[in-house]
Structure 1
Amino acid sequence: MPVAGVDVGSVAAKAVILDELTNNVLAHALVPTGWNPRQAGEDALDWACAQAGVDRPALTRVTGTGYGRIALPFADKTVTEITCHALGAVHLFPGTGVVLDIGGQDSKAIAVDADGSVQDFVMNDKCAAGTGRFLQVLSGILGMDVQALDEAAGRGKPADISSMCAVFAETEIVGLLAQGVSPEDVAAGVFRSLAKRMVSLSRRIACRGEYTFTGGLATLPAFARCLSSELGTTVNVANDPQNTGALGAALIAARLAKENS
Protein backbone atom coordinates (compact mmCIF):
# COMPACT_ATOMS: atom_id res chain seq x y z
CA MET A 1 0.00 0.00 0.00
CA PRO A 2 1.35 3.47 -0.84
CA VAL A 3 2.08 6.25 1.65
CA ALA A 4 3.38 9.77 1.06
CA GLY A 5 5.53 12.47 2.56
CA VAL A 6 5.15 16.12 1.55
CA ASP A 7 7.78 18.75 2.41
CA VAL A 8 6.78 22.36 1.74
CA GLY A 9 9.83 24.58 2.00
CA SER A 10 10.27 28.29 1.39
CA VAL A 11 11.48 27.73 -2.18
CA ALA A 12 10.11 24.34 -3.29
CA ALA A 13 7.49 21.78 -2.31
CA LYS A 14 8.49 18.12 -2.56
CA ALA A 15 6.50 14.90 -2.39
CA VAL A 16 7.63 11.27 -2.16
CA ILE A 17 5.42 8.19 -2.60
CA LEU A 18 6.64 5.05 -0.81
CA ASP A 19 5.59 1.44 -0.79
CA GLU A 20 4.46 0.95 2.81
CA LEU A 21 5.87 -2.56 3.14
CA THR A 22 9.24 -2.23 1.40
CA ASN A 23 9.98 1.50 1.83
CA ASN A 24 10.84 1.61 -1.86
CA VAL A 25 10.34 4.99 -3.51
CA LEU A 26 7.58 4.73 -6.13
CA ALA A 27 7.78 8.35 -7.30
CA HIS A 28 8.78 11.85 -6.27
CA ALA A 29 7.96 15.37 -7.41
CA LEU A 30 9.16 18.93 -6.89
CA VAL A 31 7.35 22.19 -7.65
CA PRO A 32 8.04 25.86 -6.76
CA THR A 33 6.35 26.91 -3.53
CA GLY A 34 5.48 30.39 -4.78
CA TRP A 35 3.09 32.43 -2.65
CA ASN A 36 0.69 29.60 -1.80
CA PRO A 37 2.26 26.76 0.26
CA ARG A 38 -1.01 24.85 0.47
CA GLN A 39 -1.44 24.76 -3.31
CA ALA A 40 2.23 23.90 -3.80
CA GLY A 41 1.83 20.92 -1.45
CA GLU A 42 -1.31 19.81 -3.29
CA ASP A 43 0.45 20.11 -6.67
CA ALA A 44 3.55 18.22 -5.54
CA LEU A 45 1.45 15.38 -4.12
CA ASP A 46 -0.77 15.21 -7.22
CA TRP A 47 2.26 15.09 -9.50
CA ALA A 48 3.98 12.40 -7.45
CA CYS A 49 0.79 10.31 -7.39
CA ALA A 50 0.47 10.63 -11.16
CA GLN A 51 4.10 9.53 -11.60
CA ALA A 52 3.47 6.50 -9.36
CA GLY A 53 0.13 5.65 -10.98
CA VAL A 54 -1.58 5.99 -7.60
CA ASP A 55 -4.90 7.66 -6.84
CA ARG A 56 -4.69 9.97 -3.83
CA PRO A 57 -7.54 8.17 -1.99
CA ALA A 58 -5.38 5.02 -2.13
CA LEU A 59 -2.70 6.62 0.09
CA THR A 60 -2.98 5.03 3.53
CA ARG A 61 -1.04 7.78 5.33
CA VAL A 62 0.36 11.22 4.43
CA THR A 63 2.87 13.07 6.60
CA GLY A 64 3.59 16.77 6.12
CA THR A 65 6.79 18.62 6.97
CA GLY A 66 8.62 21.86 6.22
CA TYR A 67 7.70 25.39 7.14
CA GLY A 68 4.44 25.08 5.19
CA ARG A 69 3.30 21.87 6.88
CA ILE A 70 0.57 23.68 8.85
CA ALA A 71 -1.07 24.59 5.53
CA LEU A 72 -1.57 20.96 4.42
CA PRO A 73 -5.15 19.87 5.21
CA PHE A 74 -4.60 16.40 3.72
CA ALA A 75 -1.75 15.48 6.10
CA ASP A 76 -2.61 12.84 8.70
CA LYS A 77 0.37 13.99 10.76
CA THR A 78 2.86 16.87 10.65
CA VAL A 79 6.48 16.58 11.79
CA THR A 80 9.35 19.07 11.87
CA GLU A 81 11.74 19.09 8.94
CA ILE A 82 14.64 18.43 11.35
CA THR A 83 13.20 15.02 12.25
CA CYS A 84 12.39 14.23 8.64
CA HIS A 85 15.79 15.20 7.22
CA ALA A 86 17.46 13.07 9.90
CA LEU A 87 15.36 10.00 9.03
CA GLY A 88 15.71 10.51 5.29
CA ALA A 89 19.48 10.98 5.46
CA VAL A 90 20.08 7.85 7.55
CA HIS A 91 17.80 5.84 5.26
CA LEU A 92 19.89 6.91 2.26
CA PHE A 93 23.28 6.73 3.99
CA PRO A 94 23.21 4.46 7.08
CA GLY A 95 26.60 5.74 8.27
CA THR A 96 25.29 9.28 8.67
CA GLY A 97 26.12 10.96 11.98
CA VAL A 98 25.62 14.58 10.94
CA VAL A 99 23.08 16.05 8.53
CA LEU A 100 23.87 19.42 6.96
CA ASP A 101 20.82 21.06 5.41
CA ILE A 102 20.95 24.41 3.63
CA GLY A 103 17.59 25.70 2.53
CA GLY A 104 16.37 28.95 1.06
CA GLN A 105 15.72 30.69 4.39
CA ASP A 106 17.72 28.75 6.99
CA SER A 107 20.49 26.22 7.50
CA LYS A 108 20.77 23.39 10.01
CA ALA A 109 23.34 20.99 11.41
CA ILE A 110 21.74 17.89 12.93
CA ALA A 111 23.43 15.18 14.99
CA VAL A 112 21.70 11.81 14.51
CA ASP A 113 22.08 8.27 15.79
CA ALA A 114 22.01 5.01 13.85
CA ASP A 115 18.22 4.80 13.67
CA GLY A 116 17.81 8.38 12.46
CA SER A 117 16.77 9.87 15.79
CA VAL A 118 17.82 13.48 16.36
CA GLN A 119 20.37 13.83 19.16
CA ASP A 120 21.06 17.55 18.82
CA PHE A 121 20.76 20.33 16.29
CA VAL A 122 21.62 23.96 15.66
CA MET A 123 19.96 26.31 13.21
CA ASN A 124 20.75 29.57 11.49
CA ASP A 125 17.48 31.29 10.63
CA LYS A 126 18.51 34.85 11.51
CA CYS A 127 21.06 35.73 8.84
CA ALA A 128 20.67 35.28 5.09
CA ALA A 129 24.45 34.92 4.67
CA GLY A 130 24.23 31.31 5.83
CA THR A 131 21.36 30.30 3.55
CA GLY A 132 20.42 29.81 -0.07
CA ARG A 133 19.13 33.38 -0.06
CA PHE A 134 22.76 34.53 -0.15
CA LEU A 135 23.22 32.81 -3.52
CA GLN A 136 20.04 34.40 -4.82
CA VAL A 137 21.57 37.79 -4.03
CA LEU A 138 24.77 36.82 -5.84
CA SER A 139 22.75 35.47 -8.76
CA GLY A 140 21.07 38.84 -9.16
CA ILE A 141 24.35 40.75 -9.04
CA LEU A 142 26.12 38.52 -11.58
CA GLY A 143 23.10 37.91 -13.81
CA MET A 144 23.49 34.12 -13.60
CA ASP A 145 21.11 31.43 -12.44
CA VAL A 146 22.25 29.24 -9.57
CA GLN A 147 23.46 26.40 -11.80
CA ALA A 148 25.58 28.87 -13.80
CA LEU A 149 26.97 30.23 -10.53
CA ASP A 150 28.02 26.72 -9.55
CA GLU A 151 29.82 26.23 -12.86
CA ALA A 152 31.51 29.62 -12.53
CA ALA A 153 32.59 28.93 -8.94
CA GLY A 154 34.06 25.62 -10.04
CA ARG A 155 36.38 27.51 -12.40
CA GLY A 156 37.30 30.33 -10.03
CA LYS A 157 39.92 31.03 -7.39
CA PRO A 158 38.07 32.17 -4.25
CA ALA A 159 38.13 35.91 -3.66
CA ASP A 160 38.18 36.97 -0.02
CA ILE A 161 34.64 37.76 1.20
CA SER A 162 35.04 39.04 4.74
CA SER A 163 31.56 40.39 5.55
CA MET A 164 29.47 38.20 7.84
CA CYS A 165 26.21 39.92 6.82
CA ALA A 166 24.49 39.35 3.48
CA VAL A 167 23.72 43.06 3.12
CA PHE A 168 27.33 44.12 3.66
CA ALA A 169 28.60 41.17 1.63
CA GLU A 170 26.53 42.40 -1.31
CA THR A 171 28.31 45.77 -1.11
CA GLU A 172 31.65 43.99 -0.85
CA ILE A 173 30.89 41.85 -3.91
CA VAL A 174 29.96 44.89 -5.99
CA GLY A 175 33.22 46.51 -4.89
CA LEU A 176 35.27 43.46 -5.88
CA LEU A 177 33.69 43.39 -9.32
CA ALA A 178 34.43 47.13 -9.73
CA GLN A 179 38.08 46.38 -8.92
CA GLY A 180 38.20 43.90 -11.79
CA VAL A 181 37.89 40.65 -9.81
CA SER A 182 36.36 38.06 -12.14
CA PRO A 183 32.80 36.79 -11.61
CA GLU A 184 34.23 33.27 -11.32
CA ASP A 185 36.51 34.29 -8.45
CA VAL A 186 33.68 36.17 -6.74
CA ALA A 187 31.36 33.17 -7.04
CA ALA A 188 34.06 30.87 -5.66
CA GLY A 189 34.62 33.30 -2.78
CA VAL A 190 30.94 33.38 -1.90
CA PHE A 191 30.80 29.57 -2.00
CA ARG A 192 33.76 29.34 0.35
CA SER A 193 32.25 31.94 2.68
CA LEU A 194 28.96 30.05 2.82
CA ALA A 195 30.74 26.72 3.35
CA LYS A 196 32.78 28.18 6.22
CA ARG A 197 29.59 29.39 7.88
CA MET A 198 28.12 25.91 7.58
CA VAL A 199 31.23 24.31 9.05
CA SER A 200 31.16 26.79 11.93
CA LEU A 201 27.52 25.90 12.57
CA SER A 202 28.29 22.17 12.58
CA ARG A 203 31.08 22.62 15.15
CA ARG A 204 28.42 23.56 17.71
CA ILE A 205 27.19 19.95 17.86
CA ALA A 206 28.95 16.64 18.45
CA CYS A 207 30.22 15.59 15.02
CA ARG A 208 30.71 11.87 14.48
CA GLY A 209 30.14 9.45 11.65
CA GLU A 210 29.57 10.52 8.07
CA TYR A 211 28.28 13.88 6.91
CA THR A 212 25.23 13.92 4.66
CA PHE A 213 24.40 17.12 2.79
CA THR A 214 20.73 17.78 1.99
CA GLY A 215 18.61 20.62 0.62
CA GLY A 216 18.65 22.68 -2.55
CA LEU A 217 22.31 23.70 -2.40
CA ALA A 218 23.31 20.02 -2.33
CA THR A 219 22.33 19.91 -6.02
CA LEU A 220 25.36 22.12 -6.80
CA PRO A 221 28.46 19.92 -7.34
CA ALA A 222 31.01 22.73 -6.96
CA PHE A 223 29.46 23.85 -3.69
CA ALA A 224 29.38 20.27 -2.38
CA ARG A 225 33.10 19.98 -3.18
CA CYS A 226 33.76 23.29 -1.44
CA LEU A 227 31.88 22.15 1.65
CA SER A 228 33.82 18.87 1.68
CA SER A 229 37.08 20.80 1.42
CA GLU A 230 36.22 23.09 4.33
CA LEU A 231 35.08 20.12 6.46
CA GLY A 232 38.16 18.13 5.56
CA THR A 233 36.07 15.08 4.67
CA THR A 234 33.76 13.85 1.94
CA VAL A 235 30.06 14.62 2.30
CA ASN A 236 27.36 12.23 1.14
CA VAL A 237 24.98 13.70 -1.43
CA ALA A 238 21.93 11.79 -2.68
CA ASN A 239 20.86 11.83 -6.31
CA ASP A 240 17.88 14.00 -5.34
CA PRO A 241 19.01 15.72 -2.13
CA GLN A 242 16.06 18.12 -2.12
CA ASN A 243 13.72 15.18 -1.51
CA THR A 244 15.39 14.04 1.73
CA GLY A 245 12.85 15.73 4.00
CA ALA A 246 9.88 14.41 2.02
CA LEU A 247 11.45 10.95 2.10
CA GLY A 248 11.77 11.14 5.88
CA ALA A 249 8.14 12.23 6.13
CA ALA A 250 7.09 9.30 3.95
CA LEU A 251 9.06 6.90 6.15
CA ILE A 252 7.12 8.21 9.16
CA ALA A 253 3.88 7.70 7.23
CA ALA A 254 4.93 4.10 6.47
CA ARG A 255 5.70 3.50 10.13
CA LEU A 256 2.33 4.83 11.19
CA ALA A 257 0.55 2.73 8.58
CA LYS A 258 2.27 -0.43 9.81
CA GLU A 259 1.44 0.35 13.44
CA ASN A 260 -2.25 0.77 12.59
CA SER A 261 -2.58 -2.18 10.20
Structure 2
Amino acid sequence: MERKAMHYVGIDVGSTATKVAVLDGGGALARTLLCPTGFSSVDAARRVRALLDEAGIDVDTVAVVATGYGRVAVPYANKVVTEITCHGRGAARLFGRDGVVVDVGGQDTKIIALANGVVKKFVMNDKCSAGTGRFLEIMADRLAVDQDELARLARAGTPTAISSMCTVFAESEVISLVGAGEPRENIANGVIESVVARVAALAAQMPGGAYFLTGGLCDNVYVVERLAARLGKPVDTCPEARFAGALGAALCALELRAERG
Protein backbone atom coordinates (compact mmCIF):
# COMPACT_ATOMS: atom_id res chain seq x y z
CA MET A 1 0.00 0.00 0.00
CA GLU A 2 1.31 3.46 -0.92
CA ARG A 3 2.07 5.61 2.10
CA LYS A 4 0.53 9.08 2.05
CA ALA A 5 2.90 12.02 2.30
CA MET A 6 3.00 13.64 5.72
CA HIS A 7 2.03 17.29 6.03
CA TYR A 8 1.90 19.86 8.82
CA VAL A 9 -0.67 22.60 8.48
CA GLY A 10 -0.79 26.07 10.01
CA ILE A 11 -3.93 28.21 9.66
CA ASP A 12 -3.92 31.92 10.51
CA VAL A 13 -7.50 33.21 10.62
CA GLY A 14 -7.12 36.98 10.45
CA SER A 15 -9.83 39.62 10.59
CA THR A 16 -9.48 40.28 6.85
CA ALA A 17 -7.76 37.26 5.31
CA THR A 18 -7.15 33.65 6.27
CA LYS A 19 -3.70 32.32 5.45
CA VAL A 20 -2.56 28.70 5.32
CA ALA A 21 0.96 27.28 5.28
CA VAL A 22 1.69 23.61 4.63
CA LEU A 23 5.01 21.97 5.49
CA ASP A 24 6.11 18.73 3.91
CA GLY A 25 7.45 15.75 5.84
CA GLY A 26 10.89 17.33 6.02
CA GLY A 27 9.58 20.61 7.43
CA ALA A 28 10.01 22.63 4.22
CA LEU A 29 7.31 25.04 3.10
CA ALA A 30 5.39 23.12 0.45
CA ARG A 31 2.31 25.25 -0.17
CA THR A 32 0.49 28.41 0.85
CA LEU A 33 -3.20 29.21 0.50
CA LEU A 34 -5.12 32.44 0.94
CA CYS A 35 -8.82 33.28 1.16
CA PRO A 36 -10.90 36.15 2.53
CA THR A 37 -12.09 35.58 6.08
CA GLY A 38 -15.40 37.28 5.34
CA PHE A 39 -18.19 37.66 7.87
CA SER A 40 -17.62 34.36 9.69
CA SER A 41 -14.38 32.76 10.87
CA VAL A 42 -16.26 29.45 11.02
CA ASP A 43 -17.12 29.73 7.33
CA ALA A 44 -13.53 30.66 6.55
CA ALA A 45 -12.35 27.51 8.34
CA ARG A 46 -14.76 25.45 6.23
CA ARG A 47 -13.44 27.03 3.03
CA VAL A 48 -9.88 26.28 4.10
CA ARG A 49 -10.78 22.66 4.70
CA ALA A 50 -12.25 22.46 1.18
CA LEU A 51 -9.12 24.04 -0.31
CA LEU A 52 -6.91 21.58 1.54
CA ASP A 53 -9.09 18.69 0.39
CA GLU A 54 -8.64 19.86 -3.20
CA ALA A 55 -4.89 19.86 -2.61
CA GLY A 56 -5.07 16.26 -1.40
CA ILE A 57 -4.52 17.09 2.28
CA ASP A 58 -6.94 15.46 4.72
CA VAL A 59 -7.07 17.56 7.88
CA ASP A 60 -8.28 14.55 9.85
CA THR A 61 -4.99 12.72 9.27
CA VAL A 62 -2.41 15.51 9.56
CA ALA A 63 -1.30 17.81 12.36
CA VAL A 64 -3.11 21.17 12.27
CA VAL A 65 -2.45 24.24 14.43
CA ALA A 66 -4.62 27.36 14.25
CA THR A 67 -3.72 30.93 15.18
CA GLY A 68 -5.01 34.44 14.58
CA TYR A 69 -8.12 36.41 15.38
CA GLY A 70 -10.43 33.45 14.63
CA ARG A 71 -8.25 30.57 15.76
CA VAL A 72 -10.93 29.09 18.04
CA ALA A 73 -13.23 28.74 15.01
CA VAL A 74 -11.18 25.93 13.44
CA PRO A 75 -12.79 22.74 14.80
CA TYR A 76 -10.32 20.38 13.15
CA ALA A 77 -7.24 22.06 14.66
CA ASN A 78 -5.29 19.87 17.05
CA LYS A 79 -4.11 22.93 18.94
CA VAL A 80 -4.46 26.72 18.98
CA VAL A 81 -1.45 28.98 19.54
CA THR A 82 -1.28 32.74 20.06
CA GLU A 83 -0.59 35.09 17.16
CA ILE A 84 2.51 36.54 18.80
CA THR A 85 4.18 33.15 19.14
CA CYS A 86 3.31 32.10 15.59
CA HIS A 87 4.30 35.37 13.91
CA GLY A 88 7.60 35.34 15.77
CA ARG A 89 8.38 31.76 14.80
CA GLY A 90 7.35 32.26 11.22
CA ALA A 91 9.47 35.37 10.83
CA ALA A 92 12.45 33.65 12.43
CA ARG A 93 12.17 30.88 9.84
CA LEU A 94 11.74 33.29 6.91
CA PHE A 95 14.51 35.74 7.74
CA GLY A 96 16.92 33.46 9.57
CA ARG A 97 18.14 35.97 12.15
CA ASP A 98 17.03 37.97 15.14
CA GLY A 99 15.40 41.36 14.77
CA VAL A 100 12.08 43.13 15.18
CA VAL A 101 8.99 41.83 13.41
CA VAL A 102 6.53 44.49 12.25
CA ASP A 103 3.24 42.79 11.47
CA VAL A 104 0.60 45.14 10.05
CA GLY A 105 -2.67 43.22 10.15
CA GLY A 106 -6.20 44.15 9.25
CA GLN A 107 -7.24 44.68 12.86
CA ASP A 108 -4.03 45.51 14.70
CA THR A 109 -0.29 46.01 14.39
CA LYS A 110 2.11 43.82 16.34
CA ILE A 111 5.78 44.61 17.02
CA ILE A 112 7.71 41.52 18.12
CA ALA A 113 11.35 41.42 19.24
CA LEU A 114 13.12 38.13 18.52
CA ALA A 115 16.08 36.78 20.50
CA ASN A 116 17.62 33.43 19.56
CA GLY A 117 14.67 32.82 17.25
CA VAL A 118 11.97 33.16 19.89
CA VAL A 119 9.80 36.02 21.13
CA LYS A 120 11.56 38.20 23.69
CA LYS A 121 8.89 40.89 24.08
CA PHE A 122 6.14 42.56 22.08
CA VAL A 123 3.80 45.53 21.88
CA MET A 124 0.51 46.03 20.05
CA ASN A 125 -1.42 49.09 18.94
CA ASP A 126 -4.88 50.16 20.01
CA LYS A 127 -7.41 48.39 17.77
CA CYS A 128 -9.15 51.73 17.18
CA SER A 129 -5.95 53.29 15.86
CA ALA A 130 -5.58 54.24 12.21
CA GLY A 131 -2.31 52.32 11.88
CA THR A 132 -3.59 49.09 10.35
CA GLY A 133 -4.05 47.51 6.95
CA ARG A 134 -7.82 47.83 7.21
CA PHE A 135 -7.41 51.61 7.43
CA LEU A 136 -5.65 51.60 4.05
CA GLU A 137 -8.40 49.45 2.56
CA ILE A 138 -11.11 51.82 3.76
CA MET A 139 -9.28 54.89 2.49
CA ALA A 140 -8.55 53.28 -0.87
CA ASP A 141 -12.25 52.49 -1.23
CA ARG A 142 -13.10 56.08 -0.34
CA LEU A 143 -10.76 57.28 -3.11
CA ALA A 144 -12.16 54.63 -5.52
CA VAL A 145 -8.77 52.96 -6.09
CA ASP A 146 -7.14 49.66 -5.21
CA GLN A 147 -4.08 49.27 -2.98
CA ASP A 148 -1.61 49.36 -5.87
CA GLU A 149 -3.14 52.53 -7.26
CA LEU A 150 -3.19 54.10 -3.79
CA ALA A 151 0.57 53.54 -3.51
CA ARG A 152 1.17 54.87 -7.03
CA LEU A 153 -0.82 58.01 -6.28
CA ALA A 154 0.96 58.49 -2.96
CA ARG A 155 4.39 58.32 -4.59
CA ALA A 156 3.35 61.16 -6.91
CA GLY A 157 1.75 63.31 -4.20
CA THR A 158 2.87 65.71 -1.52
CA PRO A 159 1.98 65.23 2.16
CA THR A 160 -1.47 66.17 3.39
CA ALA A 161 -1.90 65.61 7.11
CA ILE A 162 -4.39 62.98 8.30
CA SER A 163 -4.36 63.59 12.04
CA SER A 164 -7.18 61.49 13.50
CA MET A 165 -6.21 58.38 15.48
CA CYS A 166 -9.60 56.78 14.84
CA THR A 167 -10.42 55.24 11.46
CA VAL A 168 -13.95 56.70 11.46
CA PHE A 169 -12.77 60.25 12.10
CA ALA A 170 -9.86 59.86 9.70
CA GLU A 171 -12.31 58.81 7.00
CA SER A 172 -14.27 62.01 7.71
CA GLU A 173 -11.04 63.97 7.22
CA VAL A 174 -10.51 62.32 3.85
CA ILE A 175 -14.09 63.06 2.80
CA SER A 176 -13.56 66.71 3.74
CA LEU A 177 -10.31 66.86 1.76
CA VAL A 178 -12.01 65.37 -1.28
CA GLY A 179 -14.81 67.91 -0.97
CA ALA A 180 -12.30 70.73 -0.72
CA GLY A 181 -10.72 69.68 -4.01
CA GLU A 182 -7.45 68.33 -2.63
CA PRO A 183 -5.70 66.20 -5.32
CA ARG A 184 -6.07 62.46 -4.85
CA GLU A 185 -2.29 62.10 -5.00
CA ASN A 186 -1.88 64.31 -1.96
CA ILE A 187 -4.65 62.57 -0.02
CA ALA A 188 -3.16 59.15 -0.86
CA ASN A 189 0.24 60.37 0.32
CA GLY A 190 -1.27 61.60 3.57
CA VAL A 191 -3.12 58.34 4.13
CA ILE A 192 -0.02 56.18 3.72
CA GLU A 193 2.15 58.56 5.73
CA SER A 194 -0.43 58.43 8.51
CA VAL A 195 -0.23 54.65 8.71
CA VAL A 196 3.54 54.50 8.34
CA ALA A 197 4.09 57.16 11.03
CA ARG A 198 1.98 55.25 13.55
CA VAL A 199 3.59 51.90 12.73
CA ALA A 200 7.09 53.40 12.94
CA ALA A 201 6.33 55.04 16.29
CA LEU A 202 5.21 51.68 17.65
CA ALA A 203 8.20 49.85 16.15
CA ALA A 204 10.58 52.40 17.64
CA GLN A 205 9.64 51.03 21.07
CA MET A 206 11.55 47.87 20.09
CA PRO A 207 14.90 49.09 18.74
CA GLY A 208 16.79 46.34 16.97
CA GLY A 209 19.44 45.61 14.40
CA ALA A 210 16.96 44.58 11.72
CA TYR A 211 13.29 45.10 10.96
CA PHE A 212 11.11 42.53 9.20
CA LEU A 213 7.73 43.48 7.71
CA THR A 214 5.08 40.76 7.71
CA GLY A 215 1.37 40.84 6.97
CA GLY A 216 -0.68 42.04 4.05
CA LEU A 217 1.48 45.09 3.27
CA CYS A 218 4.68 43.14 2.66
CA ASP A 219 4.26 43.41 -1.12
CA ASN A 220 3.58 47.17 -1.05
CA VAL A 221 6.96 48.52 -2.11
CA TYR A 222 6.09 52.13 -1.35
CA VAL A 223 4.99 51.32 2.21
CA VAL A 224 8.22 49.37 2.77
CA GLU A 225 10.26 52.33 1.50
CA ARG A 226 8.44 54.86 3.66
CA LEU A 227 8.62 52.67 6.76
CA ALA A 228 12.37 52.24 6.29
CA ALA A 229 12.74 56.00 5.90
CA ARG A 230 10.78 56.62 9.11
CA LEU A 231 12.78 54.04 11.07
CA GLY A 232 16.10 55.11 9.60
CA LYS A 233 16.98 51.47 8.90
CA PRO A 234 16.28 48.95 6.13
CA VAL A 235 13.09 46.92 6.38
CA ASP A 236 13.33 43.39 5.02
CA THR A 237 10.37 41.51 3.65
CA CYS A 238 9.51 38.84 1.10
CA PRO A 239 6.36 37.51 -0.64
CA GLU A 240 6.03 34.68 1.90
CA ALA A 241 6.04 37.18 4.79
CA ARG A 242 2.27 37.54 4.44
CA PHE A 243 2.07 33.94 5.65
CA ALA A 244 4.41 34.35 8.64
CA GLY A 245 1.68 33.60 11.20
CA ALA A 246 0.49 30.53 9.31
CA LEU A 247 4.08 29.35 8.86
CA GLY A 248 4.70 29.69 12.59
CA ALA A 249 1.56 27.68 13.27
CA ALA A 250 2.73 24.99 10.85
CA LEU A 251 6.05 24.82 12.68
CA CYS A 252 4.08 24.33 15.91
CA ALA A 253 2.17 21.53 14.16
CA LEU A 254 5.49 19.90 13.24
CA GLU A 255 6.54 20.00 16.90
CA LEU A 256 3.15 18.70 17.99
CA ARG A 257 3.46 15.63 15.80
CA ALA A 258 7.00 15.04 17.07
CA GLU A 259 5.80 15.25 20.69
CA ARG A 260 3.10 12.69 19.99
CA GLY A 261 5.47 10.41 18.18
TM-score by length of 1: 0.91
For the aligned residue pairs, the C-alpha RMSD in angstroms reads 1.8
Correspondence 1:27 to 2:21: no
Amino acid at match of 1:39: D
Structure 2 partner of 1:159? 160
Q: Look up the match of 1:83.
A: 85
Give the corresponding residue for 1:201. 202
Q: Deviation per CA, 1:113-154, whole angstroms, max 9, x where unpaired?
A: 122x21111111332411122112212321112232122223
Corresponding position of 1:6: 11
CA apart distance, 1:33: 0.6
* Consecutive unaligned residues in structure 1, runs of 5 or more: none
Equivalent position SS for 1:34: coil
Structure 2 match to 1:244:
244
The CA deviation at 1:38 is: 1.8
Which piece of structure 1 moves more, 213-222 or 81-90? Answer: 213-222
5 Å-filtered alignment, 1:220-239, equals 220-239=220-239
What's the counterpart of residue 43 of structure 2?
A: 39
Partner SS for 1:5: strand
- CA distance in structure 1 between the partners assigned to 2:51 and 2:192 by the alignment: 33
Is the counterpart of residue 93 in structure 1 residue 95 in structure 2? Answer: yes
Which of 54, 59, 65 does residue 56 from structure 1 map onto? 59
Unaligned runs of 5+ residues in structure 2 are 1-5
Q: In structure 1, what is the equivalent of residue 134 of structure 2?
A: 133
Compared with structure 1, are the counterparts of its residues 46 and 113 closer, same or farther at alpha carbon in structure 2 (3 Å cutoff)? farther
Q: Which amino acid aligns with 1:258?
A: A
Alpha-carbon offset, residue 171 of structure 1: 2.7
Residues 44-102 of structure 1: per-residue CA shift (max 9 Å, x gap): 24324534x4333441x110000101111111110011110100001000124111111
In the alignment, is the contact (CA less than 8 A) between 1:89 and 1:96 conserved in 2?
A: no
Q: Taking every aligned residue pair, what percent have the same amino acid on both sides?
A: 43
Partner secondary structure for residue 99 of structure 2:
strand
Distance 2:33 2:14 in 1: 13
Match of 1:113 in 2: 115
Letter in 2 for 1:14: K
Shift in alpha-carbon separation, 1:35–1:171, aligned structure 2, 3 A: closer
Q: Residue 189 of structure 1 aligns with which residue?
A: 190
Deviates more, 1:78-87 or 1:217-226: 217-226
Classify 1:46/1:28 alpha carbon distance in 2 versus 1 (closer, same or farther; 3 Å). Answer: farther
